[in-house]
Amino acid sequence: MRWLPLLAIAALLGTLGTGCSKKSSDVIKVGEFASLSGKEATFGNSSHEGTVLAVEEINAAGGVLGKKIELLTEDNLSKAGESGTVVSKLIDRDGVVAILGEVASSRSLEAAPICQRSKIPMISPSSTNPKVTETGDYIFRVCFIDPFQGTVMANFASKTLKAKKVAVFTDVKSDYSKGLAKYFKEGFIKSGGEISVELDFNGGDKDFKAQLTAIKAASPDAVFLPGYYTDAALICIQAKQLGLNVPLFGGDGWESEDLVKIGKEAVEGNFFSTHYHPDVSSAKSKQFVEAYRKRFKNQDGTPKSPDAMAALGYDSAMILAEAMKRAATTDGAKVRDVLAAMKDFEGATGKTTINEKRDATKPAVILQVKDGAFKYVETISP
């Protein structure tokens, strides 16, 4: 009796496996998981668009190993718990040979153990928490990590903002936020600064007034807010309402057109660090910006400029394709070996070299919100 349901499920999965998508011999299936809807939807959509552009360019140039890449994309709804489910499905049911994703570290951390166990290489375009690639030797990223980003923002606070006392406001639901807060604090104290007060919130909260009142009472020179854009925008609004008139600044998690749409004048003048700005570009990056602007449009029909997630999404897919070409196979272990040795790969975000921890070492840029747009301030090299 207890066997029957299992057999029925196995039979059903077998049918779906052969019936749903093209035969695996015709194409190379690559899985992507992203936050295409929900709270961090702009992250997933940007990253996805960059990835799609790369796959289209690869296929137009003849594909990989004589085959076209088929990108299978799953939405995790920006929700905890979904990434594991969709990535298992991509691997077990769809038979993808590699996984691209995610932007948010907590969601990459859900998928990484599954890819590691299945010996399927995973490349996160833009998750910056160190733990992501520490999961195992099949897990890579094409961006810098938060010990670097935290130090960059600590130096920025002391040197550019000339802050002596900084408050830190952390999203305790996010591995990214907790990590970045920690590395910022270490760096800021090292540079002679003082952390005047530390407070927590939960991503998705709507009312931050109690914590902001406590922050105001500690009279810091600035507030470090390593959160994502929706929360960051609401926090900036409520800080202004409470008369907390000091700079608020954050990391790459602030980067979204929605930061300005939600925060409006409350986010003006504030700063954040990120990976890329379309104005600072190599020849390769200029090509990417042009192709992206041709391919994607804003809601009002004007050409859309790529952000960091789009550029890193593009690079993650390009590097994977290059690794499969050099490995002359899609075999997970062989592709992993080539990825681990990848040096000076020229992409939209500059050169990517994968180090011994399977991370990339790259410069950070600091941007300022100016007249509703993100203005380039400076580049900080590692």
CB of 366 to ligand PHE, least distance (A): 14
Site for ligand PHE in 303-322 (CB under 6 A): 308-309
Among 103, 114, 197, 239, binds ligand PHE (CB under 6 A): 103
Count of Cβ atoms closer than 10 Å to residue 182 Cβ: 16
Across the beta sheet with 373-380, the strand order is 194-201, 165-171, 222-224, 248-250, 271-274, 364-370, 373-380
Tokens of 107: 């969601």
Please, what's the largest Cα pairwise distance for the chain?
72
CB of 231 to ligand PHE, least distance (A): 12
Among 176, 183, 208, 271, binds ligand PHE (CB under 6 A): 176
Asked if the peptide bond before residue 49 counts as cis, ω within 30 degrees of 0, the response is no
Q: Note whether 275 and 143 are within 8 A (CB).
A: yes
Q: Residue 226, by phi and psi: left (phi above 0), alpha (psi -120 to 50) or beta?
A: beta
CB of 45 to ligand PHE, least distance (A): 12
171 is an interface residue for ligand PHE by CB under 6 A: no
111 is an interface residue for ligand PHE by CB under 6 A: no
CB of 174 to ligand PHE, least distance (A): 7
Nearest to 169 by CA among 194, 195, 200: 200
Q: Which of residues 148 and 345 has its CB atom nearest to ligand PHE in the complex?
A: 148
Q: Where do the H-state alpha helices sit in the chain? A: 3-19, 41-60, 82-92, 105-118, 131-134, 146-155, 175-190, 209-217, 229-241, 257-263, 283-295, 308-327, 332-340
The type of residue at 44 is G
Q: Note whether 177 and 161 are within 8 A (CB).
A: no
How big is the site for ligand PHE, counted in residues (CB under 6 A)?
15
Q: Which of residues 152 and 197 has its CB atom nearest to ligand PHE in the complex?
A: 152
112 is an interface residue for ligand PHE by CB under 6 A: no
129 is an interface residue for ligand PHE by CB under 6 A: yes
Burial (0-12, 13-18, 19+ Cβ within 10 Å), 57? middle
Q: Which of residues 47 and 118 has its CB atom nearest to ligand PHE in the complex?
A: 47
Site for ligand PHE in 340-369 (CB under 6 A): none
Residue 66, SS3 per DSSP: coil
Per CB under 6 A, the segment of 70-78, 152-160, 251-259, 366-374 that binds ligand PHE is 251-259
270 is an interface residue for ligand PHE by CB under 6 A: no
Q: Which of residues 76 and 274 has its CB atom nearest to ligand PHE in the complex?
A: 274
Q: Which of residues 50 and 193 has its CB atom nearest to ligand PHE in the complex?
A: 50
Tokens of 196: 């005047």
Q: Which of residues 216 and 277 has its CB atom nearest to ligand PHE in the complex?
A: 277
133 is an interface residue for ligand PHE by CB under 6 A: no
239 is an interface residue for ligand PHE by CB under 6 A: no
170 is an interface residue for ligand PHE by CB under 6 A: no
Q: Which of residues 244 and 276 has its CB atom nearest to ligand PHE in the complex?
A: 276
255 is an interface residue for ligand PHE by CB under 6 A: yes
Tokens of 54: 């790369």
233 is an interface residue for ligand PHE by CB under 6 A: no
Q: How far is CA 94 from CA 2, 37, 73, 133, 371, in A?
A: 27, 22, 11, 24, 46
Residue corresponding to tokens 């986010």: 267
253 is an interface residue for ligand PHE by CB under 6 A: yes
3-class SS string, 339-375: HHCCCCEEECCEEECECCCCCECCCEEEEEEECCEEE
Q: Which of residues 78 and 128 has its CB atom nearest to ligand PHE in the complex?
A: 128
Q: Which of residues 308 and 327 has its CB atom nearest to ligand PHE in the complex?
A: 308
Q: Which of residues 59 and 349 has its CB atom nearest to ligand PHE in the complex?
A: 349
Tokens of 48: 């996805």
CB of 43 to ligand PHE, least distance (A): 6
Site for ligand PHE in 19-48 (CB under 6 A): 43
Binding region for ligand PHE (CB under 6 A):
43, 103-105, 126-129, 176, 252-253, 255, 274, 308-309
